[in-house]
Amino acid sequence: MKTLIKNANIFQKGKLIKGEILIERKKIAKIGGIIPINADKIIDAKNACVFPGFIDLHSHLRDPGQTYKEDIVTGTLAAAHGGFTTVCAMPNTEPVTDNIASVEYIQLRAEEHGSAKVYVIGAITKQSAGEEIAEMATMKAGGIVAVSDDGKCVQNARIMLSCMKYASNFGIPVIIHPEDYSLAGKGQIHSGKVATKLGFSGIPGLAEEVIIARDIMLAESAGAQLHIAHISTERSIELVKNAKDKGLPVTCEVTPHHLVLNEEANLSFNTNTKMKPPLRSEKDRLACIQALKEGIIDCIATDHSPHADFEKEREFDLAPFGIIGLETAFPVLYKNLVQTGQIDLNRLIEALTIAPAKILNLPGGILAEGKTADLTIIDLEKETLFSAENILSKSKNTPWLNQWFPGRIMCTICDGKITYLDSENG
Amino acid sequence: MTSKPQFTGRSLFDLDDYSREEIMFILEAAKGMKEINLREYKKIPTLRGKTVCTLFVENSTRTRMSFELAANRLSADVVSFQSSISSLQKGESLQDTVYTLNAMGIDLYCIRHSSPGSPQLVNKYSGKPVINGGDGRHSHPTQALLDIFSIWEKLGDLKNLKITIVGDILNSRVVRSNLIGMGKLGAKVTVCGPKTLMPSNMESIYDCRVEFDLPRALKDADVVMGLRMQLERMTEGLFPSLEEYSKHYVLSKETLKYAKKNALIMHPGPMNRGVEILPEIADSNHSIIVEQVANGVAVRMALMFLILGGKV
């Protein structure tokens, strides 16, 4: 089976160059220029751009246990619809993915029914309860790419130190969701102007910062590789910068929503502006953009967190935290950061592809001969509407519902197979 | 601004949405209602055939009674829904509750709820006007209107009046709404309390003055308002004891020396005598604490009358 992509603007080495791509046996057989060949299938890119398939280090696929919110089939369909070919599944499923059997379930489901490659992240502690080390070495042998108690945070420093030592023993990166429970309390939104005005308990930046400071020190002492999930404040960035300047193996990610929205979005009482960490101040948001530009923030991750309508459609402080992100990530960032000139397209693509791949040592993230054919075709001129009908995720909890964005994903190919094809792209 | 503000069908979520002129219009209407409340037969037929629902998802006997009395005196039918005796606690959502109530033909909702923003939800689900009777720590606009009415009745125009509010500012929806309303009428408001009970960014949000020292806060005040200090704040680690709090923040003859001589004394109730206010002040000639309660009924009557388009 030979597939030829014609009339493409291929993204290679930071440039968009007109050409064709030949896909054969899951791999890119040839790339660039005109490829004279009798292909079995021809995809006309119609001058749209071809990027490496996006890689998400942070998705909640909710499978097993909460499949009314999302499952592996719909979660990976949403990924493909957003241009992603690889997603890392967070372990806060029900039951928690803290053992090899649970890891294998996700891998098997994804292999058989998925529209994207799924790498599993195992729990740090059993049931993510923050007390006993999970069987991470066994899970590592079974293919997990990192450990995390995401959604929760190991509060006890002695236990965290022990987990980090154990993880480093087996070469497993540790991903943290930095949140000090005593400081976060019953907070609903960022502790700032808007929380004061609306009378909500606040989640101060400090709740994130003290754990980042602590875990950088613990990781240094344990010799562990540390990745900080969804960084959101200026001071957190400063802590990561200091760690990097020291040469420590510390990386971090930022979500699209922390790059695009600030606490003011909460003024509407829209529960789709409620997530952890909360939307921060404008100063924090600008610091995130700057740090992404400078590379202090390594990559972008979606923190795709589906919740059903009936859970989100209620009183603000009774609604769960989190929004979906796989389908909205690229269009939202392209419109708000690239079109406004705050980030160039190269850096955005890098932060969605090769940068996350490097952090967890995943394949992909690059378009070149001999590489796996993971790619996405995006028409930057065409717009896309995030309506409940168009969103392929089971859940529709996004603050950008019913809004139009440029950067329509026309086609996504994973392992040489079409995983998403826009209806306008016969 | 048109000559006569339009209120029919509007909700009152907070005073943000109401202009100075509209607030003054409500005060004038409340003045008329107060006269009715002083009659022997305290009832007018203006809202006959309308149905008002008090939807209280947080306990409050006083505010609910005030709303219900207001509706009764305008001859509206009143139904009451309380969370403690309702299906809300069995897990029925607010949305379903409102759909159910709405099917019974409610014309106006008066809601109290511990979640900020829930009056907006009730309005969204019902399509009917909603009066916010207190949503979490967010706002309590009818209390602010009755406070403003009480001051206006005694001292006239609020412009440049010095008003000092003392106590647990962090947890007070009364303060937040008063700051908006009093600010619109040109008053100079100072808020005072211990730093642990003072939310951040107050000055930049409300154009008020923040003081941690009581004598300085009270200096030359025309109006002094105390707030209820709740014992729970102690277990939350926000202050060490009621005794120590009282030592620094109680309204007493001693501390009120710093305010103007005839300063009005106010309190939204219920009071903790001996904690935030001493009886010598609460019961003094300048105290209008009891009158505030009476004015509450008048202000709520005025709002219902205006929102439901009552005929004189």
Interface of B with A (CB under 8 A): 93-95, 113-118, 120-121, 135-139, 173, 176, 199-202, 204-205
Q: Give domain limits for chain A.
A: 2-49+371-421, 53-359
A316 CB neighbours in chain B (<8 A) are: 115-118
Quick check: A196 and B205 CB within 8 A? Answer: yes
Q: Does A309 touch chain B (CB under 8 A)?
A: no
Q: Which CATH class is domain A53-359?
A: alpha beta
Quick check: B115 and A310 CB within 8 A? Answer: no
User: Which residue among B115, B135, B204 sits closest to A318, beta carbon to beta carbon?
Assistant: B115
Does residue B2 surpass a pLDDT of 60? no
Quick check: B121 and A314 CB within 8 A? Answer: yes
Quick check: A315 and B199 CB within 8 A? Answer: no
User: Which residue among A196, A269, A314 sits closest to B93, beta carbon to beta carbon?
Assistant: A314
Q: How far apart are CA A193 and CA A174, in angstroms?
A: 34
Q: Is B18 exposed, middle or buried (0-12, 13-18, 19+ CB in 10 A)?
A: buried
Residues of chain A with pLDDT under 70: 425-426
Q: Give domain limits for chain B.
A: 15-139+296-307, 141-292
User: Which residue among B120, B200, B202 sits closest to A192, beta carbon to beta carbon?
Assistant: B200
Q: How far apart are CA A249 and CA A253, in angstroms?
A: 14
B173-227 pLDDT, tens digit per residue, is: 999 999 999 999 999 999 999 999 999 999 999 999 999 999 999 999 999 999 9
Q: Which two tokens stand for residue A216?
A: 């950088």
Where do the H-state alpha helices sit in B38-140? 61-73, 94-103, 118-126
Q: How far apart are CA A157 and CA A375, in angstroms?
A: 41
pLDDT at B82: 86
Does residue B83 surpass a pLDDT of 80? no
Does residue B92 surpass a pLDDT of 90? no
Nearest CA to CA, how far is B174 from chain A (Å)? 11
Quick check: A200 and B116 CB within 8 A? Answer: yes
- Residue type present at position A55: I
B94 CB neighbours in chain A (<8 A) are: 314-315
B113 CB neighbours in chain A (<8 A) are: 315
pLDDT at B1: 45
Cα B227–chain centre separation = 12
A269 CB neighbours in chain B (<8 A) are: 116-117, 120-121
| Third-level CATH fold of A2-49+371-421 | Urease, subunit C; domain 1 (2.30.40)
pLDDT at B141: 98
Nearest CA to CA, how far is B139 from chain A (Å)? 8
Q: Does A317 touch chain B (CB under 8 A)?
A: yes
Quick one: closest CA in A to B120, which residue?
Answer: A269
A317 CB neighbours in chain B (<8 A) are: 114-116, 136
Torsion sign (Cα): B144, B147, B149, B151: negative
Asked whether A279 and A190 are in contact (CB, 8 A), the reply is yes
More confident residue, A52 or B2: A52
Mutation target vs B (from A269, A273, A317; most B CBs, 10 A cutoff) = A269
Nearest CA to CA, how far is B23 from chain A (Å)? 20
pTM given for the model: 0.94
Confidence of residue B85 (pLDDT cuts 50, 70, 90): very low
Classified as helix, coil or strand, B54 is: strand
| CATH 3.40.50.1820 for domain B141-292 | no
Quick check: A193 and B95 CB within 8 A? Answer: no
Asked whether A5 and A377 are in contact (CB, 8 A), the reply is yes
Does residue B59 surpass a pLDDT of 90? no
Q: Is B241 exposed, middle or buried (0-12, 13-18, 19+ CB in 10 A)?
A: exposed
Residue B284 DSSP class: S
- Let me know if the fold of A2-49+371-421 is the same as that of A53-359: no
Confidence of residue B18 (pLDDT cuts 50, 70, 90): very high
Paired residues of A121 in beta bridges: A146
- Let me know if the fold of B15-139+296-307 is the same as that of B141-292: yes
User: Which residue among A191, A196, A198 sits closest to B202, beta carbon to beta carbon?
Assistant: A196
Asked whether B228 and B272 are in contact (CB, 8 A), the reply is yes
pLDDT at A332: 98
User: Which residue among A192, A310, A316 sits closest to B115, beta carbon to beta carbon?
Assistant: A316
B136 CB neighbours in chain A (<8 A) are: 199-200, 317
Q: How far apart are CA A337 and CA A258, in angstroms?
A: 12
Confidence of residue B236 (pLDDT cuts 50, 70, 90): confident
Quick one: closest CA in B to A313, which residue?
Answer: B95
| Third-level CATH fold of B15-139+296-307 | Rossmann fold (3.40.50)
Residues of A classed as catalytic: 303
Rounded to two decimals, the ipTM of the complex is 0.92
Q: Does A198 touch chain B (CB under 8 A)?
A: yes
pLDDT at A317: 92
Nearest CA to CA, how far is A280 from chain B (Å)? 14
Nearest CA to CA, how far is A265 from chain B (Å)? 14
User: Which residue among B113, B173, B176 sits closest to A315, beta carbon to beta carbon?
Assistant: B113
Contacts of residue B198, Cβ cutoff 8 Å, sequence gap at least 6: B169, B170, B191, B210, B212
Q: Does A283 touch chain B (CB under 8 A)?
A: no
Nearest CA to CA, how far is A314 from chain B (Å)? 7
Quick check: A315 and B201 CB within 8 A? Answer: no
Q: Is the preceding omega at residue A64 within 30 degrees of 0, hence cis?
A: yes
